[in-house]
Each structure stands twice: as C-alpha cells, then as structure tokens.
A and B are shown apart, each in its own frame.
Chain A
Amino acid sequence: MWMILSMAAFVTSVLIHVVAMRSVQHAGAVSAFVTIGGTVGILLIAYCATSYGLTSAALATIVAYAFACELYVFLFTLVGNSVSFGLLTRLARHPLKPADIAGFYRTEAMIARRFEQLERGNLITAGPSGLRLTKRGERLVQIFSLLHAAFRRPNQWVSAATREGYDAL
C-alpha cells in the first residue's frame, strides 16, 4: 500500500508538472518541479505522519518519493542540456561521419542557448563593458570552486581554455 501511495504521489507531481509546463509561459522546468514536487511531498509527509506515524512504512514512502523526484529532475536536466543527447538524436536520423557531425552541430546555437539559460537564471548579465556574473552567479562559481577542490577535479573545459591561452585574450 505504501509503495502505491509513494508512486501515486510521484505520478501526480509529474502530471501537474506536465500541465504547468504547457500552461505557464517561460516556466523554468526545475523551479516548477521543485515547487510542485515540494508541495506534494509536504502533503505526503503529513498524510504518512497521520496514517502510519514514524514507522518504516512512512519513511519508505517518503524516501521512495524523494528518490523518484530526484531521478526525474536528473533525467530532464540531463537530456535538456546534454551534448551527448544532441549527438544521439542526429545519429538517429542517419549515420554520420565525424566531419559531418562537426558541421551538423552548431556550437554557436549551443553557446547561445547556454547564455540564454544563464541570463534567465540570473547568473550572468550583459553590462556596458561586456558579460559579467551576477551576485548569484558569483556565489555559484564559489560553491563550485569548493567542489572542484573537494573532488580534486577542475572543470576540464576551463582547464583546456586556460591551457590554450584564454588568459591572454
């Protein structure tokens, strides 16, 4: 029963998200799902607390719901921003040679989309002297500089750009 309850809550969240993404213009998929999934999650916790109390069934229901939500967000952010998925869809049409792939895949469009997403997320802004990070963007870069240190993994593209002399630009 508790497993059905957990899955029903997840399916409800996804269905509301599907409707919200079609009815609210310029809704961010992640922020919309965090709002919807969070609200349904709180209702689920309240229901479990009153029906089951603090039991293994209540915890399993909530944790299974949380995992399903995280997996869903992971999947749609992965597919929506993935260079790999872009390549796979092109290869799904017909076989391509490496040179065709490079010609097919417009990096300008890829960059423009990233700029659009970063500006919409209030992470970068265009000023009179060019692009700069917003306060929020600076905080995110700081957080990730801590993660680079924790994982001992600098962003490989920044490293490549630096090696190729970005600093000299």
Chain B
Amino acid sequence: MSLLICLLYIAAHAGLYFAVLRGWPKLGSERGIFLYHFVSAILVTGAFGVWAIAHGSSDAWAWFVCVVMLHGIYSLSFLELWALADDSYSLAIMEIIDRGGAAAGPALTQRLEAIGKCKQSSRLNALRAIGLVRELGDGSFTLTPFGRAAVWLGRAVLFLVNAHKYG
C-alpha cells in the first residue's frame, strides 16, 4: 500500500510539473528545479518516517527505505535529464553539428570555444551562488570550506574510476 501511495505521489509530482509548473520562471533555474525535488523528498521522508515510527515494525521501516529510495531514483533521473536538456556541452556540440550538416573546421571550433568560455563564466557564477566559491577583497576567487570538500569528494570519485582527464 505504501509503495502504491509513493508511486501515485511521484506520478502526481511529475504530472504537476509537466502540466502546470514547467513554464514557471521560478522553476526555470537549476536552484528552482532542485528545490522542487528537494522539498518533495523532505515531505515524503517526513511523512513516511512518521508513519514508520508510529507503526514501529521492521516491515514498516523496510517500506520506508523503499519509498525514500524510489523517490531518490525518480528525482535523480529527472534532474539529470533536465540538466542534460538544459546545459549539456556535448549535446550542444551534437545539436550544432546536426543543424550545420557536415560542419567542420575552424568555424565550428571557434563557435564552440566561445560557448565554452560562456559556460566557464556561467559556472563560476553558479559556484558562487551555491557557496562553493567566494570572492576575495582583491577581486580574485577562492574556495570556501564546502568547495574544498567538493574537490576532495570529486577527486575520490575520479580515483575510483581511474580518470585522469576531467572538465
């Protein structure tokens, strides 16, 4: 029953976005769409957590984990697709090649470099907005403690997959 409620809730959450909210400017930013899912995850965890505590059985806790993980899979998949559709550099390259037909040579590279530079500047602003980077008095940028933790975590992940190139 709890699984069915969770699946219905997820369908309603996605349905609400696609039917009503996708045109809202507040959900048009990374922060907005992340909050839409984060608040939902908190609500689901809270509601099913209270239910599991009230029930108290190990079966109830298993359903609780099931529901929270399902919501996690849904939100992560949704946000990945949203971010790829919105911001993927590789997809941009493919779409530009697709539009330009047999595009090649310096013109394509020049355009992609311009896009790459815009992307860096937009990313720097985004990193500041989420508190990973801060500006010093002399106008230069440095990492916050959260930024250092993110670099440490990222390097650990790259070590696992034996990746030497990134960015």
Contact = CB atoms under 8 A, between A and B. Distances in A.
B91 A155 contact: yes
A27 to B, nearest CB: 9
A150 to B, nearest CB: 7
Contacts of A96: 140-141
Nearest to B160: A18
Tell me what chain B mostly uses at the interface: helix, strand, loop, or mixed: helix
Interface residues of A, number: 84
Contact of A80 (B124, B143, B166): B166
A156 B86 CA distance: 6
A17 to B, nearest CB: 7
A3 interface: yes
Contacts of A14: 160
Interface in A143-161: 144, 147-148, 150-153, 155-158, 160-161
B130 to A, nearest CB: 9
Interface of B: 3, 18, 22-23, 28, 58-59, 62-63, 65-66, 69-70, 72-73, 76-77, 80-82, 84-105, 107-109, 111-121, 123-124, 126-127, 132-133, 136, 138-143, 147-148, 150-151, 154-155, 157-158, 160-163, 165-167
5 contacts: A18-B160, A60-B65, A83-B123, A92-B147, A157-B89
